[in-house]
Amino acid sequence: MRVFCLPIVLAICAGCIIPASLAAIPQDSVKTKLASDSQLQSVLMQARDAVIAETHLQDGYSSEVETDLKRVSRYLLMTGNRTDVLYLQQHSEPDYAEAIRGVLRPANTLEDFAVRTREAEEETDLYRHDEDIELIVAQELERGFLEEALQEVKLMRIPTLQTTVMGDIALVAYKRGDLEKADRLVAAAVDAVTSSAPMPGLILEHQRMLIVLASTWHEAGYENAALSARRQALKLLQAGANSYDSLWRSLGEAAARQGDLKMATETLEHLTDPSARADVQTEMQRAEARMASPAQVLEIVGRLHDDSKYAALREIAGRQVDSGDKAGATHTLQMAMQAAEADDQFHVLKMAEIAWEQIGMGDKSAAEATIAAGLRDNETPRPGSDQIDGWIMLADDLAYMGEYDRALQVTRKIEYADFRARALQLIAYHETQAGHADWAISWAVGVEDPEGRARTFVGIAAGLIERITGKVQDLN
């Protein structure tokens, strides 16, 4: 199931960790394959120059540009090309170059990391200090130094970032099958959240940090860890510290989404705001629908309001597709379409999501009809970014379906360069992923605005790396 979002502000430690499936391949072999691919090398040079150009745009600091810079530097290092990473550092606008200041530091031996850690500890700026430690931790994890990474992360000074990175370290151990170490790291992360003191000028809610950890671990399939974090959050809330409705609601919703209906029910006893109670109850109904038999699903979904009904139906359709029940999924998506029609504001976005599911289940004719209706309906002007996001998602659908030229035509309807750049990136990625990098490159060289050009070549590079390594490259 697709989750649509524009580029995130900061790629945290997990984004730099070599995934288990890739780590199983000797890294020298992977690097050799990437370095010997002449097409990838050419694309990375185009991406390098385009990213440098976009760092010099006079539009204020952009997190999307920073993400582009980090991605290109990471892709270059994957190929062993340190020279062009240095070129990026030297020619990017200085504020952006700061984001990759440490990537070329020695990172092979424990002594390399010890020296860099001592230097980082001399940094007085909280954020620079933690960014330096975060990079050291990511590189140590790449090389299998889990224990050392855990010691380094304890030095981080910003509790929210420290908690996130500790959670990621636990996931690395879990995915490598070292459950004893993973459980120990989970306990350390939960303890760190609970015992950390508030920072001046930073609102710190231990309960909310634990809820975030639980969600991260649940999404990765580490259910025991998620349960530990939820239980600790519940314990803190029951103790009365900062136990206001928004935190009880957050825990109740998270517990329901993670299938813990017992805990979700317990949170209802502490909620006084009717709307907060309704939100948790809705999540519980959606969870019941996910766990119910096909005969029970329709009765449960019928009790939901339109927005929640749509989301539940789409989730159910995804499960039906995964189980091979194409007929059931087709019927469920028709019901989801009816629920989506009641939402004037996000109607097109929901149609694009439905089309994505139809493409995934191989029902191209249904997807064509849904996309056509979405393209027609999205011509109606709407305030905010909803209409623009609609164009991006419909272009993404068309590219996913192999209709690259039509997808490019849709991008011409997007007025703002940064949004259009995102659509171009997705099209280039899908086209390359399907084995048509030459086609993507042929139109990418004609993209003139720096953001669009940079993101397009990043998309092509991601697609090529994915085809060479067999590992999906996350562009969210």
At 102, phi and psi to the nearest 5? Answer: -105, 5
Cβ atoms within 10 Å of 8's Cβ, excluding its own: 13
At 56, phi and psi to the nearest 5? Answer: -95, 5
- For residue 274, CA distances in Å to 256, 264, 279 come to 17, 15, 9
- Distance (Å, whole) CA 64 – CA 43: 19
Residue matched to tokens 């997705």:
426
Could you list the pLDDT tens digit for every one of the 476 residues in the chain?
564 443 322 333 333 433 333 333 346 788 899 999 999 999 999 999 999 999 999 888 999 999 999 999 999 999 999 999 999 999 999 999 999 999 999 999 999 999 999 999 999 999 999 999 999 999 999 888 988 998 999 899 988 888 889 899 999 999 999 999 899 889 988 988 887 665 554 445 788 899 999 999 999 999 999 999 999 999 999 987 556 788 999 999 999 999 999 999 999 999 989 999 989 998 898 888 777 766 676 677 776 665 678 887 888 888 788 888 888 889 889 988 988 888 877 889 999 999 999 999 999 999 999 999 999 999 988 767 789 999 999 999 999 999 999 999 999 999 999 999 999 999 999 999 999 999 999 999 999 999 999 999 999 999 999 999 999 998 98
End-to-end CA gap in the chain: 14
- For residue 301, CA distances in Å to 73, 253, 279, 282, 442 come to 47, 17, 15, 10, 47
Neighbour-count burial of 180, counting CB atoms closer than 10 A to its CB (0-12 exposed, 13-18 middle, 19+ buried) = exposed
pLDDT at 297: 67
pLDDT at 338: 87
* Amino acid occupying residue 52: I
Burial string for 281-299 (b: 16+ CB within 10 Å, else e) reads bbbbbbbbbbeeeeeebee
pLDDT at 198: 57
- Distance (Å, whole) CA 393 – CA 430: 13
- For residue 434, CA distances in Å to 130, 179, 341, 440, 466 come to 39, 37, 33, 11, 11
pTM of the predicted protein model: 0.83
